[in-house]
Every structure is written in structure tokens, then in C-alpha cells.
Amino acid sequence: MIHVVLYEPEIPQNTGNIMRTCMASNCKLHLIEPLGFSLDEKHLRRSGMDYRDQLEVFTYKDWNEFISKNTGTYFYITRYGKKSPTMFDYKEVEGDIYLIFGKESTGIPKEILHDHLEYCARLPMVKEARSLNLSNCVAICVYEVLRQLDYPGLSPVEFIKGEDWLENE
């Protein structure tokens, strides 16, 4: 199972987009408080679309509560990481995979990252760029894990309109 963890997210539209990505990719979403918005905000509903009811979302009062309730391998996505997400072999991970992303303004606290340097990843980009949009980072990283695992449980064809929709006149 793949889990997406947002440490103190601040922007509801990002979290809504991430909710949509998690639902579509069969990931669970974990939100660590404080949140910079209410979970019932209209921006969150709009960007998360109708998928909110089909998604498992867990909230935690802080980092300590989160780690006390979740076991698996944690990967920290941070601008300070020295490996790209493709350098990890997710097929070799035993148990659940947790992709942890920091808040939009400051990222994951150094106190958390310091003891897990071997699991810190950075999305490669030009040296002048600080970061990419959070929801884009989540999508990129989730799909790298899914690619390595050969997209378990995901449909390779269009289901709603039918896989032959393009061929039909």
C-alpha cells in the first residue's frame, strides 16, 4: 500500500488536487495538523471533486501521533535530498510505503529529516528553482512508485466510457 503524507499542508487547492491523485492511484492520504484550512472548504471540494467520498483520509494532531500509528518505510521528499525518487527500489520495500511531503512554505522540519538522510529524495530541477508545486510533486512521486510496482490494482484502459471509445464513431 502506498500512503501520501502531508505535513501541515497550507493550501486547500493543493490538498484537493492531492486527494484526487490519491483516489485515482489507490493511495491513502494522511494529514498532519495544523492544517492551513478547514477540510470542508469549498476550494478543497472543488479541486478534490467528487472523489472525497472514495478516499481514505486520516488526520493526526502532530508528527508524533502519526509515527505512533503508522509502520512501514518512510520516504521524505525534500529540496535537501541528495537522491532522486528513481534511485530507490520500491519493489524491495517490505510493508507499506509512505511518501512524506512538507508544508508549502517551509517543507519538512530539519529535526525530522536529520535522522533519515538515506531516505530523503529530491526531484531534480534547475539549480535556481527552490521547488515545484506540492500537488505536482506528489503526483510525480506516486507515479514513480506505481511505475516500479507495475501499477498494482490500476486499470490500464478507460473504463467509464469504455476502452474502445476512441475507435468508435
Annotated binding site for S-adenosyl-L-methionine: which residue ranges?
Answer: 77, 102, 123, 131
Residue 5's closest CA among 54, 60, 83?
Answer: 60
Residues 45, 58, 43: CA angle, nearest 5 degrees:
15
> How far, in Å, CA of 89 to CA of 35, rounded?
32
Strand partners, 147: none
The answer to whether the CB of 119 falls within 8 A of the CB of 75 is yes
Annotated binding-site residue numbers: 77, 102, 123, 131
- Greatest distance between any 2 Cα atoms in the chain: 58
> How far, in Å, CA of 152 to CA of 25, rounded?
9
- Which amino acid type is present at position 102? G
- Which amino acid type is present at position 35? L
> How far, in Å, CA of 169 to CA of 166, rounded?
8
